[in-house]
Structure 1
Amino acid sequence: MEHVSYAVADRIATVTLSRPEARNGYTVRMSDELAAAFDEADRDPAVRVVVLTGAGNDFCVGADLSAGGLDLPEAGERWDEPAGRCSMRIFAMDKPVIAAIRGAAVGAGSTIVLPADFRLAATDARFGFVFSRRGLYPEGASTWFLPRLVGLGRAMDWMVSGRVFGAAEALAAGMVHSLHEPAEVLDRAYELAGELIRTTAPVSVAVIRQMLYRMSPLDSPLPVQRLDSRLIAGSVHNPDTAEGILSFLQRRDPQWTGEVPKNLPPDLPWR
C-alpha cells in the first residue's frame, strides 16, 4: 500500500489515510487500498474493531484530482466511483468501525465516514459536502447515509448549500458522537475500541450492525420480527449467549469464543 497504512495491535486494526504531505487528498489508489484494508480486517479473526483515521493534522481534504484523475469508465462499462468503493465496503463490514477525525474532513473526507459505527471528532474538525459548489454530485451513497444520521432537513442544508461547518455543529446534528482535543481523539477511539472488545460479543455486533442498516428501512416490522425470532431461537446453541448471561450473573468480564465471520448465524437474509 502507498496511500493507506494498515496495522493490527490489541485486536484493533488501524486503517490510516497516509498522504499527510497532500493533507490526505483522496485518490483512486487510496480508495482501492481502503477497500482492501477493510477486506483484510473483516477476514482476520484476530481483529475485533477497526479504527479509521488520517495521518497528520487533517483527516482528508477531498479528492486530489492532480494525482491521476478519476479513472473514468469506458462507455457502457460498470464503474464504482472512488468514495463509494470505501463507504460501501464499510457498510458491508461485520466488525464495528470507529472513525477518528481531526482537521479538514471535506468531500470524500465527509462521505466515507458516514457508514462508520462511531465518529469521534476533534474540536478543530471541519466537514463539508461541497459538491454543489464544484458542479459535482454527492458520492459514497452519502445522500442515503446522511439523512439517516441527521434528518432530511439538515442534510438538505449541508448538501444543497455545500457549506463547510465545524465540529460543534456536526455534534449537535448527530453526525459525530463526541468531541475531543485534537491530540486526544485517536486515543479516545482506541479506548472505545477496547471497551467494545471487552464487553460485546463479536457475532452479536456483526448481526446487529447489519440488521440496523438493512432492516430498519423496511416499511413493515413483520420481517424484522421474524428474523428476531429465528436468531433468538438459535441462540440456545450459541456459547457466547451462555457466556454473556453467566458473566453477568458472576459480575465478571465475559470471555467470548465466537469468531467473525466463522460463527455468523446461517441464512442471514443479506448474506
Structure 2
Amino acid sequence: MSHIASSLVDGILTLTLDRPEKLNAFTPQMNNELADAFDAASEDDDVRVIVVTGRGRAFCAGADISGGGDSFGGQSGEMFGGEGGPRAAGRFVESIFRCKKPSIAAINGPAVGVGLTMTLPMDIRLAADDAKLGFVFTRRGLAPEAAAAWFLPKLVGLPHALRWCLTGEMFGAAEALAAGLVSASHPKDELLAHACELARVIADNTAPVATAVTRALLWRGELLDDPGLLLEIDGGINAELSAGPDVAEGVSAFFEKRHAQFPGRASVDMPAVYPWWT
C-alpha cells in the first residue's frame, strides 16, 4: 500500500491515510487500498477493531484536485469509477459497510467531501475538537457521493443532512457532536489514544461473532418493513448462539468475575442465517 499505512497491535488494526503532503487527499488508489484493507480485516481473526485516522494535520481534505478542472477525470470519470463503472468508485464504502469488524474514525483534522463521507459507514466517529468538516459537493458542482445520501440522514436526521449538503458550508466538531455525527470530541493530540481506548473496550470484552452479528443487525434492521421479520432473524440467531460455546463462556466468566475468552471466530463461526439480507 502506498496511500495508506497499516499497523496491527493486540487486535486493533490502525489504518492511517498517508499522503500528508497532500492533506491525505483521496485518490482511486486510496479507494482500492482502503477496500482491500477492510476486506482482509473482515476475515482476519487477529483483527478485532479497526481505527482509521490521517497522518499529519488533516484527516482527509477530500478528493485530490491537484489536476485542476480535470481532477475528476473529465469524460472518463476516473474518480467515479472510470471503466469500472460508478460502483467501483464506491468500492471502499461497500467494504467498510460489509466488514464483520467494528470500525472507529478518529477524525484528527479537516475532513471534507469524500474525506467526511468515507467515515459514514464506520460505526463510531470521534473528532479533534478543532476539526473542520464539510459536505462541500454542491460548491464543486457535484452531488454527495459514497452513498452519503443513504448514510447521513440515518445518522443525523434529514434536517441536518439537508442543511449541510445543500449549503456546502463547513462546520466544526462542536456542531457535529450536537447533531450526533460524532460521538465525542477530544484535543487533537489525545484523539487517537481515545479511539484506541474505545477499541480496546470492544476488543477485550466482546465476542467476535456476537459483535459482527450485532453490527449487521443494527445497520440493516431498519431496512425491514416489519419488526416481526427482525424478530424471526434475531430470535433464530440467538437460538443458535445460545447453544454454542461463546454464550457458555460469557456466562461462566460473568459468574467467575473474570474476562471471557470467547472461542468463536467471525471468519468461520457466523450463524447459519448470516448474511440474511442476501
Shift of 1:238: 1.5
Deviations 1:9-63 (Å, cap 9, x if unpaired)?
1111111100000000111111111101111211211111111111111100000
Residue type at the aligned position of 1:261 = S
Question: What is residue 270 of structure 1 aligned with on the other side?
Answer: 277
Question: What is residue 95 of structure 2 aligned with on the other side?
Answer: 89
Matches within 5 A, 1:1-271: 1-66=1-66, 69-70=72-73, 71=78, 72-74=81-83, 78-80=85-87, 82=89, 84-268=90-274, 269-270=276-277
How many residue pairs get aligned? The number is 268
Residue type at the aligned position of 1:14 = T
CA distance in 2: counterparts of 1:102 and 1:21, whole angstroms: 15
CA distance in 1: counterparts of 2:139 and 2:85, whole angstroms: 27
Work out the percentage of aligned pairs sharing the same amino acid.
Answer: 47
Residue type at the aligned position of 1:199 = N
Q: Normalization by structure 2: what TM-score?
A: 0.92
CA distance in 2: counterparts of 1:81 and 1:144, whole angstroms: 17
CA distance in 1: counterparts of 2:212 and 2:270, whole angstroms: 8
Residue type at the aligned position of 1:73 = G
- Of 259-268 and 10-19, more deviation after overlay is shown by 259-268
CA distance in 1: counterparts of 2:176 and 2:139, whole angstroms: 20
Deviations 1:84-126 (Å, cap 9, x if unpaired)?
2222211111000011011100001110001111101110111
Residue type at the aligned position of 1:5 = A
CA distance in 1: counterparts of 2:267 and 2:277, whole angstroms: 14
Residue type at the aligned position of 1:128 = G
Structure 1 unaligned residues grouped into runs of 5+: none
Shift of 1:257: 1.2
Shift of 1:7: 1.6
3-state SS of paired residue (1:209): helix
3-state SS of paired residue (2:104): strand
- Of 40-49 and 158-167, more deviation after overlay is shown by 40-49
Shift of 1:81: 5.5
Runs of 4+ in 1 over 3 A off after TM superposition: 67-70
Shift of 1:73: 2.9
CA distance in 2: counterparts of 1:48 and 1:13, whole angstroms: 8
Residue type at the aligned position of 1:29 = Q
3-state SS of paired residue (1:16): strand
CA distance in 1: counterparts of 2:246 and 2:59, whole angstroms: 37
Shift of 1:79: 3.0
CA distance in 1: counterparts of 2:273 and 2:134, whole angstroms: 39
Shift of 1:69: 4.1
CA distance in 1: counterparts of 2:114 and 2:29, whole angstroms: 14
Aligned CA RMSD, in angstroms, stands at 1.4
3-state SS of paired residue (1:208): helix
Shift of 1:80: 2.2
- Of 252-261 and 167-176, more deviation after overlay is shown by 252-261
| 2:96–2:121 contact (8 Å) kept in structure 1 | yes
Structure 2 unaligned residues grouped into runs of 5+: none
| 1:49–1:95 contact (8 Å) kept in structure 2 | yes
Residue type at the aligned position of 2:150 = W
CA distance in 1: counterparts of 2:115 and 2:88, whole angstroms: 14
CA distance in 1: counterparts of 2:43 and 2:175, whole angstroms: 36
3-state SS of paired residue (2:52): strand
| 2:125–2:183 contact (8 Å) kept in structure 1 | yes
3-state SS of paired residue (1:7): strand
